Amino acid sequence: MKTSTLVALALALLLGGTRMMGQVQRIGYVNSAKIFDELPEAKDATKQLERFAKPVQDSLAQMQRTLQDKVEEYQKKEAMMSDAGKRAAQQELQDMQQRARDYAQTKDQELAKQREKILNPLKEKILRAIERIAKAEKYNFVLDQNEQINILLYADVKEDLTNRVLDNLKRGK
């Protein structure tokens, strides 16, 4: 069973059970991707990450071009090379390929750390704003519905808190 189906089933059971006990639960939802996209600080963070990633992408592209040139050169000369020469050239190509993989892996890890360092404070800020709105407007649950996460099967648009959260964040509360 899919995780989203399990979550929907759990929510249905939860809501059904609490209604039977005479309690009404308020549920709202947000589109976290829209909030993030429209938050000015998020745009700045994205630019920072792009500035970090661009030189890495350029270096990787250069390594790939150099490797491709070496492969083509090897293929042209292969027929005239001795077995020892072929082995040496193949080893050189494998070493170049391994260096490129190692570089990419190292830089991916660095980028992940940088992304976490830059984005986590924004995520926390957004969550605090969602919590403020939920408490102020007496919502018991706030779900997320965006392009990546879709556990919300139906929602009345009047329960969409996205714009209220954005307003709250933009006002700086």
HSE-up of 130 (CA within 13 Å, CB side)?
A: 22
> What are the Cα distances from residue 3, in Å, to 6, 32, 56, 170?
5, 19, 36, 33
- What pLDDT, in 10s, does the model give residues 73-88? 999 999 999 999 999 9
C-alpha distance across the termini of the chain, in Å = 40
Indicate yes or no: pTM above 0.95. Answer: no
Element (H, E) at 31: none
Four-residue CA torsion sign, 146, 53, 61, 91: negative
| Architecture per CATH, 3-171 | 2-Layer Sandwich (3.30)
Domains of the chain: which residue ranges? Answer: 3-171
Q: What is the pLDDT along the chain (173 residues), one digit of tens a residue?
A: 445 554 554 555 555 544 445 567 888 889 988 999 999 999 999 999 999 999 999 999 999 999 999 999 999 999 999 999 999 999 999 999 999 999 999 999 999 999 999 999 999 999 999 999 999 998 888 988 887 777 765 667 888 889 989 988 888 75
Q: Which residues of 67-96 are buried (b: 16+ CB within 10 A; e: fewer)?
A: eeeeeeebeeeeeeeeeeeeeebeeeeeeb
Q: Print burial letters for 21-52: b (CB count within 10 Å at least 16), e (below 16).
A: eeeeeebbbbbbebbbeebeebeebeeebeee
Cβ neighbors of 138 (< 8 A, separation 6 or more) are 26
pLDDT, residue 70, reads 94
